[in-house]
Amino acid sequence: MNVLGVDACGKQGWAGIRLTDGAYAGSLTDLRLGRLIERAAEVDAIAVDMPLGLVEKGWRGADVHDFVYRSIPAPDLTIEQVASGSVSAMRGGR
């Protein structure tokens, strides 16, 4: 299966990473999303990371999950503490 993961990359536009059967198969960038997808040619699925809304302060739900799943296990840390921002210093004061 050939898949393409896409994310914005600032003024450079969009970055795409291709996987074939789960293995890295190349990368590409383009200023326009549509053109990047066209250049990717034959893919079975495309996933675009596109936040629908950013919060002025605090954490988005995706950020909370990212923190929890990437953190060193901390049994005394609750999801509520992470969501409230009480551990924001651990992530650079977000």
Q: What are phi and psi of 66, to 5 degrees?
A: -60, -45
Q: Which residue has the higher pLDDT, 82 or 68?
A: 68
pLDDT at residue 77, as a whole number: 55
Q: Model-level pTM greater than 0.75?
A: no
Please state, in angstroms and as integers, the Cα–Cα distance from residue 37 to each residue in 40, 51, 56, 57, 59, following that order. 5, 19, 31, 33, 30
What tens digit of pLDDT does each residue of 38-53 get? 999 889 999 988 666 6
pLDDT at residue 92, as a whole number: 45
- Cβ neighbours around 82 below 10 Å, total: 21
Query: Residues of the chain with pLDDT > 90: what percent?
Result: 37
Q: Which residue has the higher pLDDT, 69 or 91?
A: 69
Lowest mean pLDDT, pick from 7-11, 33-37, 83-87: 83-87
- Torsion-angle region of residue 26: left (phi > 0), alpha (psi -120 to 50) or beta? left
pLDDT at residue 80, as a whole number: 61
